[in-house]
Structure 1
Amino acid sequence: MQGRRVSRARSTLRADLTVLALVGALLLAALGAGGISLYQQVYSPSAFVGRYLDLLAAGRAADALRVPGVSVDLASHSGVGLDSTASEALLRTSALAPLTDYEVTSEEHEEGAYRVRAVYRAGGVSGASTFEIVQDGWIGVVPNWRFARSPLAEILLTVRGADAFAVNGFDLERGQVSEKGAEADPLAPLHMLVFTPGAYSVTVDTAVAATPGVRVLADTPLGRTPVDVQAMPTEKFTELVQQKVEEFLTACATQEVLLPTACPFGLEVSNRLGDGTAPKWSIIRQPVVTIEPDGAGWWIPPTDALAHIDVTIKSVFDGSEREVSEDVPFQVDGTIGILPDGTASIRVGSPAGG
């Protein structure tokens, strides 16, 4: 009987040990699965990219710049492909467009680096970007990561017809972002750093010029994207130029000479003026001014106008005099430059006979 009890006890023990081993195996499997899940969600290259996108979506530009591998010292890293003088003016919260519907879709390991692809909507525009991630040491028993290639990019922005503009509603002036300051060439591209991913809309809205905007999607880390914005004259500016041209021509008409100085109209005669008389000019049809872009400024295309002269002409042959009352057609053109203080310098074209 005692032998049977011992045998029975041993069978029970074996069964208990088997159950314990099975439970242990299940616990180890659960811990392994949990560890893998935790790694994917928190410690993987994909999670690293996801946290970077979280910061951009939250508008935390300063924190995004502190993510390892984002900031680049352009002065000492000229080989990254970005201009060494590029402005950081757009690396701020107020210049970010909304980033939504972002998701990491793949992660591939090759040659010691991970390529992480993400899709998103930036400023309402759908896009996709691929980021290169490498390990950057350890934090305890988990890996640390950084961008192997900075997710910053560069916009080469040319704004024609205005020195003031806005990017995603953030106001800027050419002199603020150009390395040459107030001496900046108005036709030279402005080098500006931006975040990838990001949508950037450039608009002009001044008293002189305006544009509905040009939008560009920065979707390639260290990419360089040219953006050309042509501002167009506002209705108010066109009205002002019309007024100034009319005032100029009216002033020309006050000159009591056949060829008013520096004016686009005049009358050439082979005889002489009558004794004691002076020409009387008037503008009977003012030009209808239009304004078109001309490089960094504007120009007034040739426009028809009509002057009138009343004058007495004396013949050099017999001394006889005759009254002349004549319409004199002419054309007006000109150039318009924008001065550093934002005012316009209007120069009406060549004078008559010039």
Structure 2
Amino acid sequence: MKSRISVPRLALRWAAAAFIIAALVVTSAIVANRTLFSAEHAVQSLHQHLLAGEGAEALGLLGAKVPTGDAVALDGEVLKRTQAGITDFKAQKAETSENDPDVRTVVAKYKADGVDKESTYTLRSTGKSWLFFDQWAFEPVTLPTVKVKANTVNEVSVSGQKIPLVKGVSTLPVFYPSITDASFSTKNFEADTRGVVVTGPAKKPVEISLKTQPTKEFIAQINSKVRGYLDKCAAQQVLMPSGCPFAYHTASRVNPETIKWSIAKYPTIEVNYYNGAWVLSPLKATAKLSLTEQDLRTGSLEKKTVSDEFSFTAQLTTSTSEVSVVPVAGSED
């Protein structure tokens, strides 16, 4: 005989199956809401946009105010480079605000160039979608800024991108967290790379002050010009070379053909930044003179070799690629 299932029993089975399916759907929705639609997930999503250099998407999600400045670090490859040193980023479990049940605080922990850091985000519930899924919006903030300062140059490199300076300063809005590096290198001047980690909004800019140093090529140019100036002085076959910092005084008669100057010791070049300009420290050198003197009373001849230690100064006119040296004792370029 064929087994028959009564209609009530079949309906009961279908009802049980529908209940199980509904329970699974609700459970899946709850799990999804706690993960894909959580405040922590919103923070992770923000970080993913920053890693991808998607500044517009990140700014739209964060809803932040962008302060005045050079926006080069807010999008594209430069944004990617500011995030390259941010690793192991993980948003911690959201904490409910004691003052407002709709507000959550999320702390993200990460490493910035290997150093443990953290950033804090505040999000507000804006309701639900499809009955189950929470919606979150970041509380409005103003993006932090980095101020780059450098003397003697009008352009620096920030996270691999050259940017102009106005009176030696440029201010850049940045996302957080981020690592901003700045440096510059020209023919005459350079500054080692310096970086700052920005972990959150701040009232004052984070400063990068680059220390300018003359390049070896710059010092070599000055050295060559100073030596050339002294060599030209030494080439003059007179006791007091014109426009030069050394001379020889004597009451005896001297045959000009016996006069021979040479530079026994050239000055050491030292350049310092003072009062808004590069200045050359006083130059010390030694000249040697060989000559034959004739005594005016006896007429006797005497070969002599004398040394003259002397000092002088020179004015510098510099740019990032050129340098002019003008000794105070004369003029030389």
Query: Which amino acid in the other structure matches residue 197 of structure 1?
Result: P
Report the counterpart of residue 308 of structure 2 in structure 1: 328
The answer to whether the 8 Å contact 2:234/2:261 transfers is: yes
Report the counterpart of residue 149 of structure 1 in structure 2: 141
Report the counterpart of residue 6 of structure 1 in structure 2: none
Query: How far apart are 1:215 and its partner, in Å?
Result: 1.7
- Say whether residues 1:301 and 2:281 are aligned partners: yes
- Say whether residues 1:217 and 2:197 are aligned partners: yes
Say which of 59, 70, 91 aligns to 2:74.
Answer: 91
The answer to whether the 8 Å contact 2:260/2:291 transfers is: yes
Query: How far apart are 1:129 and its partner, in Å?
Result: 0.8
Say which of 158, 162, 165 aligns to 1:167.
Answer: 158
- Say whether residues 1:70 and 2:48 are aligned partners: no
Report the counterpart of residue 233 of structure 1 in structure 2: 214
Say which of 166, 185, 191 aligns to 1:205.
Answer: 185
Q: Which moved more, 1:247-256 or 1:123-132?
A: 247-256
Report the counterpart of residue 228 of structure 2 in structure 1: 247
Q: Which moved more, 1:210-219 or 1:342-351?
A: 342-351
Q: 1:258 to 1:61 in 2, by over 3 A?
A: same
Within 5 Å, give how 1:264-283 maps onto structure 2. 265-267=245-247, 281-283=261-263
Query: Which amino acid in the other structure matches residue 343 of structure 1?
Result: S
Say which of 303, 316, 322 aligns to 1:344.
Answer: 322
1: CA distance between counterparts of 2:255 and 2:130? 105
Query: Which amino acid in the other structure matches residue 146 of structure 1?
Result: F
Query: Percent identical across equivalent pairs?
Result: 19
Within 5 Å, give how 1:31-50 maps onto structure 2. 31-50=25-44
Query: How far apart are 1:16 and its partner, in Å?
Result: 8.1
1: CA distance between counterparts of 2:192 and 2:239? 48
CA-based RMSD: 4.1
2: CA distance between counterparts of 1:108 and 1:215? 32
Size of the alignment, in residue pairs? 311
The answer to whether the 8 Å contact 2:192/2:211 transfers is: no
1: CA distance between counterparts of 2:271 and 2:252? 38
The answer to whether the 8 Å contact 2:255/2:292 transfers is: no
Query: How far apart are 1:194 and its partner, in Å?
Result: 1.7
The answer to whether the 8 Å contact 2:234/2:241 transfers is: no
1: CA distance between counterparts of 2:146 and 2:214? 25
Query: How far apart are 1:147 and its partner, in Å?
Result: 4.0
The answer to whether the 8 Å contact 1:161/1:230 transfers is: no
SS in 2 for 1:343: coil
Once the two structures are superposed, residues 199-241 of structure 1 have per-residue CA deviations (whole angstroms, 9 ceiling, x without a partner) of 1222223222334411211112246211122133332222222
Once the two structures are superposed, residues 234-272 of structure 1 have per-residue CA deviations (whole angstroms, 9 ceiling, x without a partner) of 3222222211221232344456573743x5x23485x77
TM-score w.r.t. length of structure 1: 0.70
Query: Which amino acid in the other structure matches residue 172 of structure 1?
Result: I
Query: How far apart are 1:322 and its partner, in Å?
Result: 9.0
SS in 1 for 2:30: helix
Once the two structures are superposed, residues 306-341 of structure 1 have per-residue CA deviations (whole angstroms, 9 ceiling, x without a partner) of 1234679999x99x99987532212355564542xx
The answer to whether the 8 Å contact 1:134/1:148 transfers is: no
Once the two structures are superposed, residues 265-311 of structure 1 have per-residue CA deviations (whole angstroms, 9 ceiling, x without a partner) of 23485x77969969865423222324445466544334431123467
SS in 1 for 2:35: helix
SS in 2 for 1:258: coil
2: CA distance between counterparts of 1:137 and 1:295? 60
Query: How far apart are 1:21 and its partner, in Å?
Result: 6.8
Report the counterpart of residue 103 of structure 1 in structure 2: 90
Q: 1:133 to 1:250 in 2, by over 3 A?
A: farther
TM-score w.r.t. length of structure 2: 0.73
2: CA distance between counterparts of 1:333 and 1:217? 44
The gaps in structure 2 that reach 5 residues or longer are 1-5
Query: How far apart are 1:105 and its partner, in Å?
Result: 1.2
2: CA distance between counterparts of 1:295 and 1:138? 62
Once the two structures are superposed, residues 101-131 of structure 1 have per-residue CA deviations (whole angstroms, 9 ceiling, x without a partner) of 2110132232443322112234555421112
The gaps in structure 1 that reach 5 residues or longer are 1-8, 75-83, 179-183
